[in-house]
Amino acid sequence: MTVRYETEGRIARVTIDRPARLNAVDADADTELERIWSDLESRDDISCIVLTGAGEKAFCAGADLKDTGKQGVDYWADPRPNGFGGIAFRRTLDIPVIARVNGYALGGGFEMVLGCDIVVAAETARFSLPEGRVGRMPLDGGMVMLPRKIPHNLAMGMLMTGRQVPAGELHRWGLVNEVCAPDDLDATVERWVADILACAPLSLRAIKQTVNRTAHLAPAEAQALKLPALIAALTSEDGIEGVKAFQEKRAPVWQGR
């Protein structure tokens, strides 16, 4: 198994499980990741996804250039519709995704981070888009996503040098939400998960769907767009429950409907 996919309650955990290869993604893992994201898109019982890599050394070292499956190295030259790992610029997954970055996030691995909504990283984590150093380009999200996430010069500094940037530096740039000691990584991620689960599931979907579908629009146009997830949240039982729980000074009990 190249990717572990586990669910517990309203949480899904997706783990690239190739630690001997620094969790580099080969053709089989790429196919499995796409299958997992498609499955999650069809579910209404999941409110948070945690994406990570197995072991302590790497989140994901990008494409496995030693992979000889499918079309060999040339397979990786073809951009995927949803970006690297099926997540780098996926816009149809309305569930919040947390990147749990435990080590190296290089090339496609960093592109996967760029596709996540919240990034929690160990202070030992390192991020890089080194494709230029091996005569390639970050085709599957890096070139188009990074300049949209951080200031132009900072993005170009990474893209044009391939240098590894520590988690603390990316935190100062606003790309990483929180940095912690490696031993505290799981506890920190679970705190973020708990905060997400405290929110109404339909509200979370409506928020993410609106952000993803309206980024190209002027504010007035975006505000006027009534997307399906937004309508569902506005007319939900959870919307009534949230107000009632606030008035009664208790925690809401979300039903996801």
Residues catalogued as catalytic: 111, 131
Q: Which of 8, 208, 5 shows the shortest CA–CA distance to 116?
A: 208
DSSP state of 69: S
Terminal alpha carbon distance of the chain: 34
Backbone angles phi, psi at 53, to 5 degrees: -120, 150
Alpha-carbon dihedral 231, 237, 243, 245, rounded to 10 degrees: -150
DSSP state of 178: E
Distance CA 86, CA 31 (A): 9
Distance CA 234, CA 78 (A): 41
Spell out the residues 6+ positions from residue 232 whose beta carbon is closer than 8 angstroms to its own. 202, 205, 206
What three-state secondary structure class fits 75? helix
Q: Which of 105, 112, 127, 107 shows the shortest CA–CA distance to 59?
A: 105
Distance CA 50, CA 31 (A): 19
